[in-house]
Amino acid sequence: MSSPPPRSHGRIAVRASLAPRDLMAPAELASAWAAHVVTLFPEAFPGVLGLSLTGRALAEGLWSLRTIGLRDHGLGRHRNVDDTPAGGGAGMVIRADVLDAALRQADPALPILYLSPRGRPLTQARARALAQGRGVTLICGRFEGVDQRILDARGIEEISIGDYVLTGGELAAQVLIDATVRLIPRVLGNQDSLAEESFSHGLLEHPQYTKPAEWEGRRVPDVLLSGNHAAIAQWRADEAARLTKERRPDLWRAYQDGIDPAKDRSSRAHHTNRGTAASHDKDDCDEPDR
């Protein structure tokens, strides 16, 4: 008999197929890294976060997930959460008073991030910093965004996951959570993986190979089969440099300048970012929220 599907929303998300345990017990979760997500679609969570390493870590209490339904704090009989833009224009804007009511349900000690087209790019350094804290509250955008007054009043940081357009902030929130949770101690089975992956030392990661030694006429580089650890390390360093120069000249320039781009790129990119779209599609208004 197949196990029931994962619970997708509520005060905390768990995988129902695992052995029962009291995940609401304060003693278990008091020190766990916490993600509070304000969203119009609580059912989108945990999504992929409930699978594999992040899902296991969630079930084991290494981190916790809580969704806060924005619609629950809407106004009137229809629970309206948005209104027309001041000054005119297409689409709808999430109201400051509605979003503020939702945010009051989150832990006030956690930093608040809004997945926004105008945000500074998410970097590995930012994910590391978040992983070292207590957690984060994330706002998933929709429609034309949110009223600027709530961002100003609450000191909310805007953050972007890339130069492309999504229909909503839920996927962007899951990307940020995944990038952060995997850095929490004991989440990854092999912590050495963190030291070897892309961006950890300012360069992209070297190519990876495994068995068989030859596949469709293509061989694993001989040096990787030589057993000469010094030569292998040098090959990997050379390949990391080559790939970075070819694919990410911005990272290579920063590396050459002796700067850790994971620490520096976010501040410099802020001045050149022309509106990275990480949270919502300006054409996506579904239906007017009336």
Known binding site for S-adenosyl-L-methionine: residues? 141, 161-166
Report CA Rg, the chain: 22
Contacts of 88 (CB under 8 A, 6+ apart): none
Cβ atoms of 275 and 136 closer than 8 Å: no
Known binding site: residues? 141, 161-166
Picking from 158, 118, 145, 119, the residue whose alpha carbon sits closest to that of residue 285 is 145
Which amino acid belongs to residue 159? I
At residue 231, the 3 state secondary structure works out as helix
Q: How far apart are CA 96 and CA 40, in angstroms?
A: 15
Cβ atoms of 15 and 59 closer than 8 Å: yes
Q: How far apart are CA 153 and CA 147, in angstroms?
A: 11
Burial of 135 by CB count in 10 Å (0-12 exposed, 13-18 middle, 19+ buried)? buried
